[in-house]
Structure 1
Amino acid sequence: MKQIKFAVMLVFLLTSFYNYSQEGPGAKNKVKVTGKVFEKVTKQPLEYATISITLPNDTKVISGGITNPKGEFEITVAPGTYDIKIEFISFKPTEIKQKSIQGDTNLGVVNLSEDAAQLNEVVVRAEKSTVDIKLDKKVYNVGQDMMVKGGTVSDVLDNVPSVSVDTEGNVSLRGSDNIRILIDGRPSQAINMAEALRQLPADAIDKVEVITNPSARYDAEGGSGIINIILKKGKNQGFNGTFIASTGIPETYGLSGNLNYKTEKLNYFTTAGYNYRTNEGTGLTNSQYFNEDGSTKSYLDEDRDTKRIRNGFNARAGVEWTVTKNTFWTNAINYQNNTGEDKDLINYNNFDAGRNFTGSTYRLNNADTGSDNIEFTSNLIKNFNDKGHKLTADLSISRNTDDSNSEISTSPNTIVNSTLNDQVQKQVLFQADYVLPLGKGGQFEAGYKGSFGDLNNEYFVTDAQGAKDTNLSNNLEYKENINAIYTQYGFKVNKFSYLFGLRWEDTNIQVNLLDTNDFNTKKYNNLFPSAFISYEISDQSNFNISYSKRLSRPRGRFMNPAVNYSSNINIFQGNPDLDPSLTDKFDIGYLKKWTKVTFSTSAYFEDTKDVFSFVRTPTGQLVDGIPVILSRPINLGKEQKFGFEFTFNYNPFKWWRLNSNFNFFNVNSTGENSYTDFVTGEVITQNLDNKANSWFARISSKVTLPYKIDWQLTGMYNGEQKTAQGKNLGQFGMNTSFSKDVLKDKGTIAFNISDVFNSRIMKSYTYLDNQTSYGEMQWRKRQFNLSFTYRFNKSKSDRDKNAQPRNDGNGDGGEFPG
């Protein structure tokens, strides 16, 4: 805590010094010019509109600024007579000539109209930044990133600041996988999240919001924060759309379309796509086994080749109805169907203590997979006035199925085991949120959310004769009901903004193993306070401190006791007795914007109890003399994490953009695990205390070359990190892409290479009492992708205009009142 106090004091000193140096002794003679900039048709605020103040008949700008997310601006200037110009990209500028300003002056609301001529031009300066850094979140605009053309949502997330996606598709935020993923502000109901993200095409995504310290308005789940994926919703008047075709190596094909038709009262939107993907991978595990006296007993080398084929179809259709001037109702249906084949071949090479070859075997796992997911969503918005007083209601009903069947062979034409895994999940979600502005700068919020889910999972393992293995087979029934209410109040006093909230969640979970009549019920309720304080240093800089209490519930493979049987000596099994973990989060942040530079930095501290951790223990079983090792999750104990992060956006020229993100963190975990030695019957206690430092960095450069060819290059590095039973080595990767507009800018050709050096390989060491192992895993090799995009009645520089205020789940709860 001393470090945090010191950081707070340091930032306050720096900001105080900065204010003095900016204002100077003569600041007392200056006056304020304020106002708001809105879009004329939709009455929506325009963020990043520029205001320039010049002397009459002079082009030199003597003062200026940009608007905040609410379209507001505040500029200081000496008393006098000035020309004022308000501009926004693709809009007609507004000029106020020879305005006499002798005291504080409010220009009121300035409405800007679209410039049709500019809208249809492709101008480099008109492009929206790939990453918008805001005080409470980072917004990643997918449409501006060429790297993800023809890719998936996993590819999108792997380019988002503070976010990493490993080779297995698992998503982490600031180095932690303890996160909550939302789609359009609602929890994704996918059974296998990593696989679901790999199936949804990047073309369906509008933007991604990263919220590292959410307010009470959001679900308490996600100890390290929330990632909100916002889908595209066409808003242009009339009929318009986009088609994208792609192909790649290894064999990949894709075709998707986005159509939109808007009238005065109704807006119809639909997205559909098909993709065929082939992912080829390799892996190895080299193990050394020891005798009781510590001498070498034997060696085992495992070589693995994997091939995963996926056929996927996804569709989304909906309509937004303007019921009255202030009431909007949107209904949509989402559908996904995926089929696939998984081939996993492992070659085992055995060696004696002298490293002499003694024999080999192999294990082939052929699996067929399939999933069918359908979801109905409904969103109702009632605006009582144009000052933010509103009521929103959301309903989501979904049904998801995941099936996989596999055959395991140890020699040609000899099947030793078969597995069947069938999962059916049903989910109903209802949410209502009420927002009431109070006075000048005050805002009250309250809401309710109910989430009711039911998952049934049948898992069978049979031997060569078709007999069921009762030790490995099970029938799991998982039911989860969560009710939540929240309230929060925000207000502003001078340059300080405050937001205080409290959320209460009641959880009822049933984990039932029907084959063994083992019934487990977990009931708990918790209060989750949150507090945010922000200080507006100037129009271009802010400082904030925040606190929230978060929770992580174990789900999916963490709680499913079904054994992953692809390897018979290294197996994984879930733990249905896991408890949730609770996290106290503290964050100190600073944001500064210049003309060409946006800089954001934060220091954060997380204190987590009952944190989840994976442990590896011997089972006492042998396969061809090799000990079988079981990996499973447990509630380890306590984990404390302290980190520092900064994001830096720089536009040195109109033709060059740079985005970078760096994160360093220290993790200190304490806990132990006990198991029974099957040979001696002795209880073994493993000390799993661990202290580790790690870091990751990402930098992306986008350059416009001659002949209007855009070139983007992204490099990322994940640093080495020590674990309780070993360490994960560092990992470097680089992606690059080129794009060119054709057909009078109605079409775009893009070519990208993912993992240019084929270097994104997960490497790790594991140290156990009787065994050490070195492993490598690469689920996806280097890929080449070529895509073509065609737009009709829609220009490349179209801004996704919100004709009506929408609720994408990011609402007003996470923002400070103004």
Structure 2
Amino acid sequence: MRKFCFIWFVGMFIFGIHKASAQNGTITISGKVIEETGGNPIEFATVLVGNPTDQKPIAGTTTLEDGTFTLETNASDFYIEVSFIGFTTNRIDNAQVVNARIDLGTISLAEDTQQLKEVVVEGEISQTVFKLDKRVFNVGADLSSTGASALEVLNNVPSVNVNIEGQVSLRGSQGVQMLINGKPSVIANEQGNALGTLTADMIERIEVITNPSAKYDAEGTSGIINIVLKKEEKKGLNGSVTLNTGVPNNHSLGLSLNRRTEKFNLFSQLGFGRRTFPSDDESENRNLVENTAINSSGQSDKNETFFNLILGTDYHINEYNVLTLSGNFAYEWEKENSDAVFSTFDSGNSITDAFDRRELTTATNPKYSYELQYKKDFEGNEDQSLLISATGNLFAKDQSSDFTNTTTIGNNEDMQQQTRTDFSQADYIFKLDYTHPWAEKYTIETGSQYQINDVKNDFAISDFDGIGFVENPDLTSVFEWTQKVLGIYVTAAYEGDKWGLKLGGRFEETDVGTLLQNTNESNDQRYANFFPSGHTSYKVNDNLSLQAGYSKRIFRPRLWDLNPFFNIRNNFNIRTGNPNLQPEFTDSYEITSIYTLGKVSMNLGVFYRHTVDVVERVVVFEDNVSISRPENIGINNTTGIEFNAKYIPTNWLSFTNDFNLRHFVRKGSFEGTSFDFKGDQWSTRLTSKIKLPSDIDIELMGNYRSGFRTFQQEITENLFMDFGARKKILKGKAILNLSIRDVFASRIRESVTNQPDFYLRNFSQRGRFVTFGISFGFGKGEAMEFSGQKRF
């Protein structure tokens, strides 16, 4: 409410200053505004120079953090008014001018409790509108005047949800690409907390893209969220310090800083901590021909100590040119213990032998990333822009594992094994984007992108021969994977008051190669594809809008889909890659509507996706060992409905529901066997947010995911609930935060493969996570939540 009044007065000043009459002399006015009770400086108090004849503003400013202000006026007859929401207004007439200066000294404002009771916030209300290939959420005074963080603003966007730990999801999916001003940024990195340094009054709008046009990568993604900042970004220091502790181990300390000046925006983040991820695992391999089985049951805990540092700056060369340079360095130390019991059963269901398999794995993971970006705006047209960027991501893993088999039943000998992994990955992206609007309603976008992926994985297994460990050449591989993708696009759009149309095309050439060094097997592929897109929107009225879109997408196999190496944690359930795997292509059609009725906003979408060369894992069973390998099998046609509704009956209660229903038809064959089938999958999520007295917020989130079929498997249903609570103290500058993930420890991962000759079951559960934290925010915004919890 206080910031709303600040915005209102500044708006009145901008409107009125053009009508004020200029005078020859310039008078400088200065002073300091404080609270009458306590003497604390008042930040953002409005100082207004007004015309006594018509009471219109002539000039104005707001106070700084220390309550001081300075402004100039050319008027000869004026009054000075100092005000701030919740305080009585102080008007000064006939101020004395000495040497073209007015020094008002210290001005005290008294609290006005009656005014606080009667004030009504009026102004632009945040709303969502369709813009061809995206939905645009314009941030109004109802949010921008609250001092909320960017995460809280996102939580008001239809179809978007931010849980109490700060995880962003779109239509129930967390695979969201976050952009700042249309480009990737470490500020929006989901592994960090830098989004928390942005406050609502810095944000102009939020764009939501569920079916990306040809401007964006053809590689599949669940959606894009672009946060567009105001050009007149708030100057000053924003930041947050967070401390967390939890069960199982989840201890972290984080610091976020953001400093904005006239020329620079400096942002940084520092975090370190330790966390543990326990897991209970079960597996069953049953040979239905011989009626024998091998079962395993065990526990593991992965301990991770991490360090993370982000540094970056935006340099505003001038009003139309901005240069951004940022970097991120992270380092992780991993230690994992695993203990599982393997039992073999004969046809009479009697145990014939058993052994205890213990594992100790250690690893170090350094990570580096950087980005260099140049953005140019053009005078006279705020929508015309040129963006050039270069980003790089480097990751390495040095891992070793020790395995020991101790026989507990039977006559099998004890066994020892070791594995080592030397892994490195480098990703580089170079982009150029140009937007040119003309004739007000027409826009052309064009640009290009070049992406390089370079990966090498050196993996070896060694067996103990009684004296030392000897490397097994049959289980050793050095696998290299390189991929280069060149993309060029152009789009053209018309957007009128009611109706719009956007058409585009993207050409991508892919050059990919794999090499298995120990056998000298190579597979090089080069292919070119055209990806068209089309979007249209129509505004029926202020409460109802429609949007339709089409795009062609691609899924390119990644390293773990291609690499034929496998992990030997469970020698009876092996997952391998397929270096001959081909990409899959999807034609995506979508019709979406947005409807607002009072305090309810609803989104209803219908989509159809046709996918060819579907990548699906195929399981083969030999000697009681299951081997899973990805293959290209047939086509998949998916028809679905996505519904989202947000209901805010009062300012202390809100409900959000996401519902997704998919019906899929699979057609394909593998090695002469038909695998045609049909299936359904649906999921729903209900989130309730409750604001209690004493600045206490409660969040309850229930999730249900139905069971569904894949090529060979059946995935069981899943029902779980998360809980969150937070308490604001020190006028919102500090937050106490409690989160419980999987309250009833009911979130599981279970799959069943039931074939004529064999039966497989795999089960995994991580259990309940409880985290308590405290965060202190300073500068312009509130404290930000930073759970320090790994995304999984």
Matched, 1:444 2:430: no
Q: Helix, strand or coil: the match of 2:694?
A: helix
Q: Deviations over 1:452-503 (max 9, x none)?
A: 2211111111111422222221111111111110000110245111010000
SS for the counterpart of 1:564 is: coil
Match runs of 1:252-651 below 5 Å: 252-291=250-289, 297-385=291-379, 386-411=381-406, 416-465=416-465, 466-618=469-621, 620=622, 622=623, 627-651=624-648
State the partner residue of 1:176.
none
Q: Distance in 2 between matches of 1:299 and 1:457?
A: 34
Equivalent of residue 245 in structure 2, options 244, 247, 253? 247
2:746 alignment partner in structure 1: 759
Residues 214 and 225 in structure 1, CA contact (< 8 A), matched pair in contact too: no
Instruction: Select 1:88's aligned residue among 138, 141, 146.
Output: 141
Residues 639 and 670, structure 1, Cα contact 8 Å, conserved in 2? yes
- Report the Cα distance in structure 2 between the residues aligned to 1:797 and 1:519, rounded to whole angstroms: 53
Tell me the percent identity.
Answer: 26
Deviation at 1:187, TM superposition (A): 8.0
Question: How far does the alpha carbon of each residue in 1:714-759 deviate from its partner, in whole angstroms, 9 at most, with x for none?
Answer: 0001101022223111001101111111123210001111100100
CA distance in 2, matches of 1:391, 1:499: 20
Say whether residues 1:161 and 2:148 are aligned partners.
no
Question: Which structure 1 residue ranges, 4+ long, deviate > 3 Å from structure 2?
Answer: 37-43, 63-72, 126-129, 180-189, 201-211, 224-236, 412-415
Q: 1:249, 1:64 → 2: CA distance?
A: 45
Structure 1 pair 229/500, CA: closer, same or farther in 2 (3 Å)? closer
Contact conserved, 1:161 with 1:698, CA < 8 A, in 2?
A: no
| Contact 1:204 1:231 (8 Å CA) reproduced | no
Q: Which amino acid aligns with 1:319?
A: T
* Deviation of 1:312 (Å): 1.2
Post-superposition Cα deviations, 1:198-217, rounded to whole Å, max 9, x if no partner, equal xx356767899864310001
Q: Could you say if the C-alpha distance between residues 70 and 696 of structure 1 is closer, same or farther in structure 2, counting changes exceeding 3 Å?
A: closer
Select 1:132's aligned residue among 157, 164, 186.
Answer: 157
Native 8 Å contact 1:455 1:477 kept in 2: yes
Question: Is the contact made by 1:369 and 1:402 (CA closer than 8 Å) also made in structure 2?
Answer: yes
TM-score calculated relative to the size of structure 2: 0.76
Count, aligned residues: 644
Residue equivalent to 1:704: 691
CA distance in 2, matches of 1:553, 1:668: 22
Q: Measure the CA separation in 2 of the matches of 1:417 and 1:471.
A: 14
Return the offset for 1:275.
2.4
Secondary structure at the aligned position of 1:532 is classed as strand
Deviation for aligned residue 1:776: 1.4
Among 789, 794, 798, the alignment partner of 2:775 is 789
1:743 equivalent to 2:730? Answer yes
Q: C-alpha offsets along residues 63-82 of structure 1, whole Å, 9 cap, x if unaligned?
A: 9985767999xxxxxxxxxx
Distance 2:12 2:677 in 1: 58
Partners of 2:437 and 2:477 lie apart in 1 by: 53
CA 1:515/1:228 → structure 2, altered by over 3 Å: closer, same or farther?
farther
1:161 is matched by which residue type in structure 2? R
The 2-side partners of 1:794 and 1:420 are apart by: 49
| 8 A Cα contact 2:197 2:238, kept in partner | no
Quote the Cα distance in structure 1 between the aligned partners of 2:520 and 2:183. 34
Structure 2: gaps spanning 5 or more residues: 1-7, 15-117, 132-138, 199-205, 408-412, 785-792
Does residue 673 of the first structure (1) align with residue 673 of the second (2)?
A: no
The residue number in structure 2 matching 1:77 is none
Equivalent AA in structure 2 for residue 278 of structure 1: T
Larger RCO, structures 1/2 (Cα 8 Å, 6+ apart): 1
1:534–1:578 Cα change, 3 Å: same
Amino acid at match of 2:659: F
Counterparts of 1:40-55 in structure 2, within 5 Å, are: none
Q: Is the CA contact 1:119–1:797 (under 8 Å) kept in the aligned structure 2? A: no
Matches of 1:714 and 1:729, distance apart in 2: 20
Unaligned runs of 5+ in 1: 1-36, 44-58, 73-85, 92-117, 150-155, 165-170, 172-179, 190-195, 675-684, 799-818
CA contact (8 A) 2:433 2:448 kept: yes
How far the C-alpha of 1:237 sits from its partner, in A, is 1.6
* Cα distance change on mapping 1:67 and 1:87 into 2, 3 Å: closer
Determine the C-alpha separation between the residues in 2 that align with 1:42 and 1:349: 80
Partner of residue 653, structure 1: 650
Q: Secondary structure at the match of 1:471?
A: helix
Q: Contact 1:279–1:781 at 8 Å: present in 2 too?
A: no
**Partner residue in 2 for 1:692:** 679
Closer/same/farther in 2, CA of residues 707 and 748 from structure 1, 3 Å limit = same
- Cα gap change, 1:442 to 1:746, in 2 (>3 Å): same
Q: Secondary structure at the match of 1:794?
A: coil
Per-residue CA shift, 1:582-608, capped at 9, x if unaligned?
A: 110000100112331110010011101
Alpha-carbon distance between aligned partners in 2 of 1:68 and 1:706, rounded to the nearest angstrom: 27
CA contact (8 A) 2:361 2:401 kept: yes
Write the distance in 2 (CA, Å) between the matches of 1:39 and 1:498.
Answer: 37
Q: Secondary structure at the match of 2:157?
A: strand
CA contact under 8 A between 1:66 and 1:540: conserved in structure 2? no
| Residue aligned with 2:560, SS | helix
Distance 1:690 1:394 in 2: 45
Q: Distance in 1 between matches of 2:651 and 2:711?
A: 48
Contact 1:752/1:785 (<8 A) preserved: yes
Contact 2:197–2:256 (Cα < 8 Å) also in 1: no
* Structure 1 Cα separation of the partners of residues 538 and 124 of structure 2: 18
Give the 3-state SS of the residue equivalent to 1:128 in structure 2. Answer: helix
CA distance in 2, matches of 1:280, 1:221: 33
Look up the equivalent residue of 2:246 and give its one-letter code: G
For residues 661 and 210 of structure 1, the distance between their equivalents in structure 2, rounded to whole angstroms, comes to 16
